[in-house]
Amino acid sequence: MIEVSIKEFKNKATSLIRGKMPILVKRRDKSVGLFIPLDDIDSLPLEIRLIALERLTDVIKAEMKKKGLSEEEILKDFETWKKK
């Protein structure tokens, strides 16, 4: 994984992204963002994979809450869909 400042990320984004490595973006000493290449997810270290997964599933969970949908309802729908 590469660590860069926001300024470096902004100036070298194209070449950094081409490097196909996860990039941790920092402001002063604080981590503010993580860029993850998606073309070889299986080669990513487990922890990075889990951090990204956590953020994406947070969005899924939030949308479920907003729409009043439960996990049970979706799983029930999946079972019905399978039988079609």
Applying CB under 8 A, the residues found at the interface with other proteins are 38, 41-42, 46, 49-50, 52-54, 56-61, 63-64, 67, 69, 71, 74-75, 77-79, 81-82
Q: Which is nearer to other proteins, 17 or 41 (CB)?
A: 41
Burial of 25 (0-12, 13-18, 19+ CB in 10 A): buried
Closest to other proteins by CB, 17 vs 53, is 53
CB of 8 to other proteins, least distance (A): 25
Query: Do 34 and 25 touch, CB atoms closer than 8 A?
Result: yes
Q: Are 70 and 78 in contact (CB under 8 A)?
A: no
